[in-house]
Structure 1
Amino acid sequence: MPKKLTAGLYDKAFTEGNQHAVEKDPSLRAHTDKLQNHTGVRLLSQHLNQLIERALAGQSEENRVELANDLIRIIEKKTRGSVAQQSDFVTNAWLKELARGVQAHTNTQTIRPGIPLSHSELLTNAPSDHRIGYELKREIESADRIDILIAFIKWSGLRLVREALQDFVGRGGGLRVITTTYMKATERQAIDELIQIGAKIKISYDTRRTRLHAKAWLLHRNTGFSTAFVGSSNLSAAAQLDGLEWNVRLSKVDAGRIIDKIEAAFNSYWEDVEFEIYDGSQESQKRFDAAVEEEPRPGRIMSLEVHPYPFQQEILDKLDVERTIHGRTRNLVVAATGTGKTVMAALDYRRLARQLSPLRLLFVAHRAEILQQARTTFRDVLKHNTFGEDYVGGSQPQKWDHVFASVQSLANFDLDKISPKHFGMIIIDEFHHAAAKTYQRLLEHFQSHYLLGLTATPERADGKDILSWFGGRVAAELRVWDAIDRGLLVPFHYFGRHDGGDLSSVRWVRGKYDDSELTRLFTADDIRVRKILKVVKEHIANPLEMRALGFCVSVSHAEFMTRKFDDAGIPAACITGKTPRGERINAQNRLRKGEVNILFSVDVLGEGVDIPPVDTILMLRPTNSATVFIQQLGRGLRFAEGKTCLTVLDFISNSARQFRFDYALGAMLGKVARKSVKEAVEKDFPALPSGCSLLLDQESKDVVLNNLRTQLRYRSSELERLLRHLGDRATLKTFLDKAELSIEDFYSKKPNSFTLLCRRAGISTADKGPDETEIGSRLRLLIHADDAPRLNFIRQAAKGDLNMSGLSERDRRRLLMLVCALLGGEAAFDLSAGYNKILDHLAICKELISLTDLLKENIAHTPSQYAISPYVPLELHTRYSLQEIASAFNLVGKGGLLSPREGIRFDEATSCNLIFVTIHKNEKYYASTAMYRDYVIDAHHFHWQSQNNTRSDMPKGRRHTHHKTLGITPLIFARTAKKTDYGLTMPYQFLGPASYLSHEGEQPMSIIWKMKYPIPADIVRNMRLAA
């Protein structure tokens, strides 16, 4: 009889009994999907496991084995021995241990954990429960390697497991420990003892805040029966014995994916530059003592090598691209205060100085303390204790080779005494001051080859433009996500609340709402302001203790809000770009002191509003710019004493069709596609920076989703109207800029080509070719291209400048990549004919030239000197489709271009093993047999899991483990997912050659590859599993 079903969520196979029960109950409706790929395997396995467990429990001991073997026999028959075979039949024995050597001769058995190795369990330190300290000692007895990730280590806790760990290391076990000096709780006596035992230790020395809150022990066993403890217990006596601590003991058998993820996270942390090696030497002991002492001694310079954090390395890489690819030597870096701008500048100078030694330097700032800190930083980075001369106060440079000067000192100096080209590099801190006359004078005088500007706030309250010194561009900007995840900025708690307003009829002027109409609407009555005050009181514990900024439409609006908050008993003030400097400073000071609780402002983006204690932001006007939104958000992300997060109250109205909610939301989500923003809103923002939250009330959610659906459904007719408005001189770039579309936005949807859109809009263009629509629609297959030599080649080819008879083999394959992308794989048979067919479409060729110019701006990495062979035209760390990789290796067969299968292709011509990896596998596209654990560990190591049929003692496995002996070069091509945010097939990033380092397991083999060339920081960020 079918079991009665209860309404609610399920995650199980839908049985015939379930179906019958639903049919009998008209009040129930079943929502089902097909059992396919990994989901099908998982749910069927769970269902069968329940049935088998119940069936075995009801049998006698003898019949249980017989039943088990009957089931294995069925599997053997159904799979023809590929999954189960004779060796898998069970006996009536429980294998508990395999002993070797002395242990085998003496017939002694290893102490077993109190919890079965194949079970997971919760430990609470209750009187009748397993104590974690006791269980850990029993687990250590049988471990082969141990990794410990723990925030605090105290002697009182270590001594409880000290002997067990000592014995473990003594018999050859490997012990790694990661900890912190956060809250100065870790004791040096404890970590020195761990060093004596034989542990390898890494420590985070940030005593103000920690990203490491995890407490975990991972006990590796070569038999595959690894276990882990994850929970709340630090290594202290109370936590190990009688504290009210909860810890989960996980087993590799029933929680294998979780164990794998713990291992991946630990390995990523181990390679993270935040965690520094502690080896017990006098130098490392001094480093530890300096981090935990109550009053750090001034003037201490560490002799440790200075390495950039990954987010800093990304900025350094962008600067390299700007100079190397685009020839831009004057660059502005925008990053929040406290993110290490000076360290980045010093590392950038070190890199250039090594290339161009000697490189004279002028570092300019407006305060003496900034100059002193900068000089110390440069000395640490360069390992040069006498580097730099001061030109501030009474100090005068003697050599003028490396000068740290205040702008005031330079203002009083006759610059004509120094050649304009004397300094090879000029670095200006807080570059937003550069619009002042004192800075203008030195910028106009010096003609250094390199100019580097550093600022947290590129916009000025007086509206003066500083970007003109950098060609109107910001070269590199720190992602808010990275800064929050690193603990460099506070997390935000964003609340989107509907204000009851309707802006759909407000006039739309030059890409935004008309300010005067918004002002009239927002100040006409008190309805909206009452709603705002209500929301403030609901979300702020005590509004009289908040430090808030309110961003308004106009001066009238700001003054109106100030009056209304004052009337409501919340002291407020108003500042704008017209407010005299003295009054502006006074208003800021009053906010700091709590004399007023909110400053309302219009020109909020200048240096005039930079108050770290700000803990609340009110978005009182619609913001149709991601840049402006992030800058407004950034005003409250600075750390201050007692501040744990920034509260953001955004007041949302029904919007005009042209308004773009995806700009602001996409900025908070990390600049993702509109489609991804829509999915995030629908799912209530599951992925945000650490500690952040983003909540929309239902009305706001409906408004935002309706707007996003409208934006996603933009019609070809609207684009045609825009194009007609731009006229015959419209280019692909001007069109995309005016339409506010990215390259991916435009080419991922119909009409798929600018040429076709021009024809529909009646814009004159070259004569139409016979296959223009089809070829134009395939341009989307090129929009990932970021290989500079290839883009140059495509441009040359599109101009018709190729001499087919004189093509090198490398360029012939580049042409093969292009022709097969635009015409299909069958065009590989007659390359010359295919190329001529493309040239017959002059309008497409013209568009191709424009497209390559835009794609060059997206290049993220500088070219390397590595070449697979003289003939294979693939550049390191650039992106290629599977078809393009096949073209590059000239994989042409009878049916045209071949496509690698099963994730691996051995290329005999180059003796290369091509390994294709998708990091985040979706159950929709991959079967469980292909859900391998693949990820970047760090810039030098990659974890890859082979196919399930690969063993180290078989030819496939030996190609990996013995590739050097066999003369094989493994090449890794990786992508983060199967599809992009725009629904296109994601290309692979060529990570380069790798060498075998180690492996665990068989069928599949989990291999760690050592990369020959470091993986760039942005790729590491996207392809590593740990935070």
Structure 2
Amino acid sequence: MDQENKLIVNSESTNLLKELTSSIETCERFYFSVAFMNFSGIQLLLEALEEANQRGVPGRILTSTYLNFTDPKALERVREFGNVDLKVFVTDQTVGFHTKAYIFEYKDSYKVIIGSSNVTQSALKSNVEWNVEVISKQDASFIKQVIKEFNGLWERSNDVTNQFLHDYNELFQNLKQVTKHNQVLYEKAEYIAPNSMQKRAMENLARLRSMGEGKALVIAATGTGKTYMSAFDVRRVRPHRLLFVVHREEILQKAKETFEKLMHDFNLSFGLLTGTQKDIQADYIFANIRTLANHYEQFSPQEFDYIIYDEAHHATADSYQKVIDHFDPTFTLGMTATPERGDGRSIFDLFDQNVALEVRLHDALEDDIVVPFHYFGITDIEGIDLSDVGVDNVKEISKRLQVNERVDFIIEKMKFYGHDGEKRKGLGFCANLEHARYMAEEFNNRGYHSRFLSGDDSGEVRQQAIEELEDDAQPLQFLFTVDIFNEGVDIPSVNTVLMLRPTESPIVFIQQLGRGLRKYQEKQFLTVLDFIGNHTKAFLIAIALNGQRYYDKESLKVAITTDFAHLPGATHVQMDKISANQILEQIDQEKFMSAKYLKEQYHEFKKIRQGKVPYWLMDYYKYDGSPDPVKFIKKDRTYLNFLAKAEKDHQLTQLLGNEIFERTLRWLSKQLPIKRPFDFAIMRYLLQHEAVTLEQAKTEIGKWVEEVADDSVRHAMEYLSQTYFDTREKGEVPQLFEWDGHVLKQTSVWSELIAHPVYRDYVNDVIEYGLFRYEREFGAVNYGVPYFKLYEQYKMREVALVANYRKSHSAYRGSGLFKNGNEFFLFIDLHKEVDSDEKNHYNNKFISRTQFQWESQNKTTQSSADGKNIINHLSRRIHLHLFVRKYEEIEKNITEPFIYIGKGNTISYKNERPIEFQFELENEVPESLYIELTEKVELD
């Protein structure tokens, strides 16, 4: 074999871990020489090492004590493999050890990977690392030299004996205590800087204040740093007096200490307002709501410049309302992890619908404000058959899961994968209370101290169990429960989560996963073991893990076959082949846009809400992993129509009997999810005002985006007055607004419609949902004109809208190429049918991530106007915008949108009728999207 070299980096579609695991699984012998390794990295290699052990493939792993970074736990785990010899190079003050080399021996060749990566989760998956892979014949001089060097180091190194492990572990633990003690030095305020989430929140808060807004809400999961964020913002604003209100007194002192730390140089006094302490003269007061509700009248309404409500989802309660109504601060900030409305009141209304920031699970992973998780999807034992059990038949599911053999299997896998940290601290999520009780009893019988908790247990009992689990000196290792820990409970030290029942909802899956993601002292990662049975809804796991704004069969299948490589950071997802194939088959068979599937999604969501009917689109906005209600709209044209059918609600059906209301709701709903906030921001203003000028409209739009072009504001006003509607559209949509070139006014149709409180509420709900969802997905960035976002999905009419196109829909409907001045839009299909045996029906394809081939329409010649414009587009200052889709349809009669991949520049062309163009893309397509668009997933 001739020598081959390649560079291995950690990226969206590949990483060093993939290269190492595939090499271990195919080689005849392997050798590692790494400066250090820890358990976070070894856990990711366990299955590959075990597979090599089963095949009888021998290996040698050499690491070192350099800087004492190597984790004794990693050494202990590697020693358990009978096929692996382990040695440690002991360093001293004069000799260091920096090697990072991985050697794989094959029948007549060697593969050598040398570079920068040690065996840690970050080095294998997410760090910026360079590793060079060389494949060469066994007798090559380079290979001989590498083997010679490895053997020399091996001979100079120590065996990992019991005595060595004991001595090294003792040293390692002592050094950890010293390091932990020294870390206190770095907690001075001048060393503390806001993380990326906190910076974004502060920027948005400043923007809202500059627009004259006096209230805002920040939504972020527990553990993401909301208290520090608020303190950073207060430090920037410097109010004379501050009131910080909490629901639970136990977090009050910690909040006060955070502010004192960051504002140590402000010459301010800090005090508490509680049942036992009333520092009402302090500049910055930290109060629990119970005490404040009895003493708020001691303060004038303008007493405080800045008020913060922590756990703001409680703010709709009566105890909060009288406090909120009393005070009139310059600025009010609400912070919550769960923005669910309470008592029929909207938390968004309380904060004037101003969401400064929302951080969901994938955002938190991206920003490194939670720990990464290592998820292992494990096929359940053969004796468990759930194929004929409905998701609602919890009693039968629980009965079938209570099998001793399954408990032994769970413990076997738990021991195999291990956990981060010294003491195992686990949560086990069960099917029902009987299942939780059974699991706790059986774990106790096998020597794993466990308890089960239910909703019937008092808060004191739950808190005592949590404290016992978190205490390293206590024997408790597991708490088994049904759903009381899904949300709102903070157990930072949890390092293991067991998913012991079929996944019934992506929302519940994410909530349960989130219980172990809080950062905690030296915690590096969370271990998640999911026991996947042959349940008919196993594919919901893929939807939950995927975490994308939109998905279809193809994107889900690619995510599974690439081990969800698009997930950020060192997070790792690994399903065994049986589970992966089962889920792939279910995805193939499922019809995601069928009435049956959509109704199942709806009823499962309703069940999560304890049976409360989700009357509003905004109800879906508040849950990470909730079903996308836009799919319900696509099925029945409005959410209200879908809801009326799902609930068999005749009153809702009667509401839709008003033709003006139904047609208006249909037109608004058709625009979801919105691709620009301009139109909806203007309509939101017109819910309160009879007319809006261009300047006022620009101000309203400025609450959602940093800035907006004047022409885009004008285009939005023209669009809302139906200037670009064709005859068919004008017949379908009521005339809601009138435009005279300067002012957009309500028509009588709109004013009469919103005068009806119920109609108004539903119209407002669509507008709110459109704006809040836009803000969550795109933030406040100004995308210019055309208002395109790279790799976002667009329908043709949406492209026209965000490009400020000033002709009717009929002018471009059905065209593969349409033009707006010097902006050319190419709409390109890569394949015709999802189940076609032919590779390609079109001559359109990616040559690489930066080069694309496109075949023009059949009539186009090089001498035609279009041909000349595309050939000479650079000299003529024409921009070619490329929109591609893999298939026109994935599910029958459901037309797929296009994905914007940016501008392309013509680098070559040939042939006539059609012309074959080669474009150089101005933006390199992300690897994960490139794989999704170019590869066809086949079942093993």
Q: Which interval holds the TM-score relative to the shorter structure?
A: 0.5 to 0.7
Q: Pairwise mapping of residues 368-447 of structure 1 onto structure 2 (< 5 A)?
A: 368-377=253-262, 385-386=265-266, 388-392=268-272, 402-405=283-286, 407=288, 414-429=295-310, 446=327
Kept in 1: contact 2:243–2:284 (CA 8 A): yes
1:912-936 superposed Cα distances (whole Å, 9 cap, x missing partner): x6597999999999555895489xx
* Residue number in structure 1 paired with 2:671: 782
1:144-169 superposed Cα distances (whole Å, 9 cap, x missing partner): xxxxxxxxxxxxxxxxxxxxxxxxxx
Displacement of 1:417 in angstroms is 1.5
* Residue number in structure 2 paired with 1:526: 404
1:197-252 superposed Cα distances (whole Å, 9 cap, x missing partner): xxxxxxxxxxx999984356xxxxxxxxxxxx9799xxxxxxxxx99999xxxxxx
Kept in 1: contact 2:339–2:347 (CA 8 A): no
Give the direction of change, closer, same or farther, for the CA distance of 1:933–1:425 in structure 2 (3 Å limit): farther
1:559-583 superposed Cα distances (whole Å, 9 cap, x missing partner): 2212111222323233344157267
Kept in 1: contact 2:440–2:452 (CA 8 A): yes
Higher gyration radius (CA): 1
Q: Is structure 2 residue 510 aligned with structure 1 residue 630? A: yes
Aligned mates of 2:713, 2:730 — CA distance in 1: 13
Aligned mates of 2:295, 2:619 — CA distance in 1: 48
Q: Pairwise mapping of residues 944-963 of structure 1 onto structure 2 (< 5 A)?
A: 956=874
Aligned mates of 2:211, 2:331 — CA distance in 1: 15
1:344 aligned residue (229, 240, 244) = 229
The answer to which of 785-794 and 433-442 deviates more is 433-442
Aligned mates of 1:797, 1:464 — CA distance in 2: 27
**For residue 650 of structure 1, what is the amino acid of its counterpart?**
D
**For residue 874 of structure 2, what is the amino acid of its counterpart?**
K
* Residue number in structure 2 paired with 1:566: 444
Give the direction of change, closer, same or farther, for the CA distance of 1:815–1:639 in structure 2 (3 Å limit): closer
2:498 aligned residue (618, 621, 624) = 618
1:557 aligned residue (432, 435, 457) = 435
**For residue 296 of structure 2, what is the amino acid of its counterpart?**
L
1:691-729 superposed Cα distances (whole Å, 9 cap, x missing partner): 2222333443355345545653553478799999x9xx9
Aligned mates of 2:726, 2:312 — CA distance in 1: 53
Give the direction of change, closer, same or farther, for the CA distance of 1:765–1:363 in structure 2 (3 Å limit): closer
Kept in 1: contact 2:310–2:334 (CA 8 A): yes
Q: Pairwise mapping of residues 650-799 of structure 1 onto structure 2 (< 5 A)?
A: 650-655=530-535, 659=537, 661-662=539-540, 665-667=543-545, 669-670=547-548, 672-673=550-551, 675=553, 676-709=555-588, 711-713=590-592, 715-716=594-595, 733=617, 741-746=627-632, 782-791=671-680
Displacement of 1:747 in angstroms is 5.2
**For residue 985 of structure 1, what is the amino acid of its counterpart?**
P
**For residue 518 of structure 2, what is the amino acid of its counterpart?**
R
Q: Is structure 2 residue 791 aligned with structure 1 residue 858? A: no
Gaps of 5+ in 2: 1-31, 34-120, 135-144, 150-178, 607-612, 698-709, 737-748, 754-758, 832-839, 853-866, 904-917, 932-940
Kept in 1: contact 2:492–2:517 (CA 8 A): yes
* Residue number in structure 2 paired with 1:495: 376
1:574-610 superposed Cα distances (whole Å, 9 cap, x missing partner): 3344157267426643563362332223454279964
Give the direction of change, closer, same or farther, for the CA distance of 1:444–1:531 in structure 2 (3 Å limit): farther
Aligned mates of 1:553, 1:491 — CA distance in 2: 26
Give the direction of change, closer, same or farther, for the CA distance of 1:536–1:918 in structure 2 (3 Å limit): farther
Kept in 2: contact 1:495–1:694 (CA 8 A): yes
1:331 aligned residue (214, 217, 226) = 217
Q: Secondary structure at the match of 1:493?
A: strand
**For residue 653 of structure 1, what is the amino acid of its counterpart?**
G
- TM-score under structure 2 normalisation? 0.52
1:227-284 superposed Cα distances (whole Å, 9 cap, x missing partner): xx9799xxxxxxxxx99999xxxxxxxxxxxxxxxxxxxxxxxxxxxxxxxxxxxxxx
**For residue 635 of structure 1, what is the amino acid of its counterpart?**
R
Displacement of 1:391 in angstroms is 0.5
Give the direction of change, closer, same or farther, for the CA distance of 1:661–1:435 in structure 2 (3 Å limit): farther
Displacement of 1:627 in angstroms is 3.4
Kept in 2: contact 1:545–1:594 (CA 8 A): no
Aligned mates of 2:334, 2:614 — CA distance in 1: 34
* Residue number in structure 1 paired with 2:128: 214
Q: Secondary structure at the match of 2:217?
A: strand
Q: Is structure 2 residue 182 aligned with structure 1 residue 302? A: no
Aligned mates of 1:423, 1:1024 — CA distance in 2: 53
Kept in 2: contact 1:502–1:654 (CA 8 A): yes
Give the direction of change, closer, same or farther, for the CA distance of 1:435–1:648 in structure 2 (3 Å limit): farther
Give the direction of change, closer, same or farther, for the CA distance of 1:859–1:434 in structure 2 (3 Å limit): closer
* Residue number in structure 2 paired with 1:985: 897
1:293-352 superposed Cα distances (whole Å, 9 cap, x missing partner): 956646744399x6651x445556787999999999463533342x3323422455578x
Displacement of 1:856 in angstroms is 3.8
Aligned mates of 1:413, 1:465 — CA distance in 2: 22
Displacement of 1:403 in angstroms is 0.7
- TM-score under structure 1 normalisation? 0.48
Displacement of 1:390 in angstroms is 0.4
Kept in 2: contact 1:784–1:879 (CA 8 A): no
**For residue 896 of structure 2, what is the amino acid of its counterpart?**
L
Identity of aligned residues (%): 23
Alignment length (residue pairs): 662
Displacement of 1:415 in angstroms is 3.2
Aligned mates of 1:453, 1:1021 — CA distance in 2: 38
Aligned mates of 2:826, 2:495 — CA distance in 1: 43
Q: Secondary structure at the match of 2:376?
A: strand
**For residue 333 of structure 2, what is the amino acid of its counterpart?**
L
Kept in 1: contact 2:497–2:516 (CA 8 A): yes
Q: Pairwise mapping of residues 1001-1012 of structure 1 onto structure 2 (< 5 A)?
A: none
Q: Secondary structure at the match of 1:589?
A: helix
* Residue number in structure 1 paired with 2:730: 835
Q: Secondary structure at the match of 2:896?
A: coil
Displacement of 1:647 in angstroms is 1.6
Give the direction of change, closer, same or farther, for the CA distance of 1:988–1:664 in structure 2 (3 Å limit): closer
1:598 aligned residue (453, 456, 478) = 478
Give the direction of change, closer, same or farther, for the CA distance of 1:446–1:840 in structure 2 (3 Å limit): closer
Kept in 1: contact 2:312–2:334 (CA 8 A): yes
Give the direction of change, closer, same or farther, for the CA distance of 1:764–1:564 in structure 2 (3 Å limit): same
Aligned mates of 2:207, 2:499 — CA distance in 1: 36
**For residue 556 of structure 1, what is the amino acid of its counterpart?**
E
1:166-189 superposed Cα distances (whole Å, 9 cap, x missing partner): xxxxxxxxxxxxxxxxxxxxxxxx
Kept in 1: contact 2:629–2:639 (CA 8 A): no
Give the direction of change, closer, same or farther, for the CA distance of 1:756–1:646 in structure 2 (3 Å limit): closer
Q: Is structure 2 residue 567 aligned with structure 1 residue 649? A: no
Give the direction of change, closer, same or farther, for the CA distance of 1:916–1:372 in structure 2 (3 Å limit): farther
Aligned mates of 2:215, 2:129 — CA distance in 1: 46
Aligned mates of 1:431, 1:848 — CA distance in 2: 26
